[in-house]
Amino acid sequence: MSEQEGRNSEEQESDSPRSEFVERVSFVDHIHRHLNFSIFGLSFLAIPVGIFSAYGAWGFLEAIGLVGHWLRDDIGVAGGKMQMFELAVGGLVFGLILHFLKWERFRNPAHVIVAVSENGGRLRARDGVVTSLADALALALGAPVGRYGPAVYLGATIGSVFAQLLRLNETSVRILLGCGVAGAISASFNAPIAGVIFAHEVIIGHFKLRAFAPITLASVAAVAVSRFHHVEYVALKLWSAPHEISLGDYPFYLLLGLIAAVVSMAYMAGIMRTSELASWLKLPAWFQPVLGGAIAGAIALWMPMVLGLGDKNLQAVLEQDSGDPVYGLQFLLMLGIAKLVASACCLGLRYPGGAFTPAIFIGAMLGGCVGFVIPSLDYQISVLVGMGAMVSSVIGAPLAVILIVFELTENYQAATAVMVAVVASNAVVTRFFSRSLFHHQIRFWGIEINRPAEQRIMASRNVGQVTRRRYVAVPGEITVAEAREKAETRPDRPTFIVDAGGRLIGQLQGSSWRTKDDETLVINVVEKHSTILAQDESLWSGFEKMEAEEESWAPVVESKESERLVGYATKPDFLAAYRRAVQESQREE
């Protein structure tokens, strides 16, 4: 073999591993792009997310039972005054968790909605685990809170973390988060259609095709797991065949929906006002759950049935014979009021848990009362209507609730009665309160989520991303002649005046300053800009400021506090960012 041939052979051998590596990287990159942008790729990823979410919801339910068993049998949790003390001690544990994690409150579906709207769907695994464990302990102690809000947050966390581990883009993270939510609802209620609608209606906020297919597959996968393990939600099962609904019954169900709207607004306002009152009294955040647990325990001394999920009591109210009831009108009325106050105090005072189950319970008591007052109505359907109207108003999911009722009861007449009441209730609550408890909380936090997608995208990014870093900076102590000399070296860049610490004093604009006397100090010819942006403020905020002042450019400082100059941004930069945001929002469809 010649020397040249040998050299060529060696080069081929040395290039071969590199070539194989490049091919492997190219293949992995191709797969990653396919998973990121293809409906088929996201649908493929949705199946494991649905399965994991189903096991997460099932595991959360098992954790409640295990912790409850441990507290009752091993620790010896009892009722009465002792349980009031234990709820208060549990509140102290939760308060310390809030203190050490520096949380305002435990996570709930409102945080998921904010994550989708403002943070690209990103949730932290730690938050999901801590929230689930805290909620399991709260429910095991008998707190009058719900378990479906925590299950939704856990499912959302599973979907979000899964997508982040695969380094998917923000749109894909949001979609897989929705898959986790759909899986949690589907597995919890054994209602796959309702799971899909809930994820779109409450969490994602749209029904675009790219999200619909993966979320549907996740919901189906989750309900398959639920049915494999024979997990069934029985609190909405009709054990006796209801009577036929006549046309004259519907006005009464409409009236029930209007009453449910008033009760649901009282419940949600109770939660918010309790929180505001605690803040006004300057109660420490760590102490508020202690007080919430003690109040719930005190109410339970009078009405023990307010504690816990109340599934068995709920089922007993639904199944009882209105002609020979176990729980009469007065008892149902008092129980509903007691549950509303106890739950509102707990949730308003930062106790972990959800509002879904208490709303179902309160709605059932309301429906039962109406069933007694108007004997011509079918009692069981009245209870279902009260439950549906109440909970749909609290969580802001009328379509999902109607479908849950239909899927669980398999009764068309019951579903039509619920539809009438749900429409009436949600219309009133949306007009006079808010779309839901979650949306009211988000608005209370000062976050506006009902805005165009491009505005949301720009609000999630900061001015620093469009800041131009090349400029001329001169001290205020130099003369006009010296400043002119420095500016002429970079005629394409703006000239700013800064102090010794780099803080912005002003800028030299136009050409008029150049005609000043050479010995004049530039500090005497400085001009102040009407708009100064901070690099950490949102692009949308900066864009609005420049539009309001009709500025073509603005200086950018490190922060409003430091005022240290870092560059400048132009209106074309913001317009380019806006166009990219519009394009990105269109890709979400």
Rounded CA separation 336/364 (Å) = 8
Confidence of residue 241 (pLDDT cuts 50, 70, 90): low
Residue-level pLDDT at 289: 94
At 27, the pLDDT band (50, 70, 90 cuts) reads very low
Task: Give percent above pLDDT 70 in the chain.
Answer: 84
Note the pLDDT tens digit of each residue in 194-216: 889 999 888 887 777 788 899 99
Grouping H, G, I as helix, E, B as strand and the rest as coil, residue 42 is helix
Q: Percent of the chain scored above 90 by pLDDT?
A: 33
pLDDT in tens, 152-161: 999 999 999 9
Q: So what's the pLDDT on residue 446?
A: 81
The CA distance from 554 to 570, in Å, is 6
Token output for 422: 């749900």
Q: Which residue has the higher pLDDT, 314 or 51?
A: 51
Q: Which segments of 303-397 does DSSP mark as H helices, in order? A: 311-319, 329-348, 356-373, 379-395
DSSP assignment of 436-464, as one string?
-HHHHHHHHTT---SS-HHHHHHHTSBGG
Residues 67, 136 contacting (CB under 8 angstroms): yes
Evaluate if residue 365 carries a pLDDT over 90: yes
pLDDT at residue number 337: 94
pLDDT digits 0-9 by tens, 392-427 = 999 988 998 888 888 777 777 888 899 999 999 999
Tally the residues of the chain: 589
Phi, psi of 193 (to 5 degrees): -65, -45
Q: Which pLDDT value is given to residue 512?
A: 57
**Residue 444 pLDDT > 70, yes or no?**
yes
pLDDT tens digits for range 450-504:
777 777 777 778 888 888 888 877 776 777 677 777 766 677 677 777 787 788 8
Instruction: Please state, in angstroms and rounded to a whole number, the distance separating the CA atoms of residues 71 and 69.
Output: 6
| pLDDT at residue number 463 | 86
522, pLDDT greater than 70:
no
Decide if 554 contacts 496 (C-beta within 8 A): no
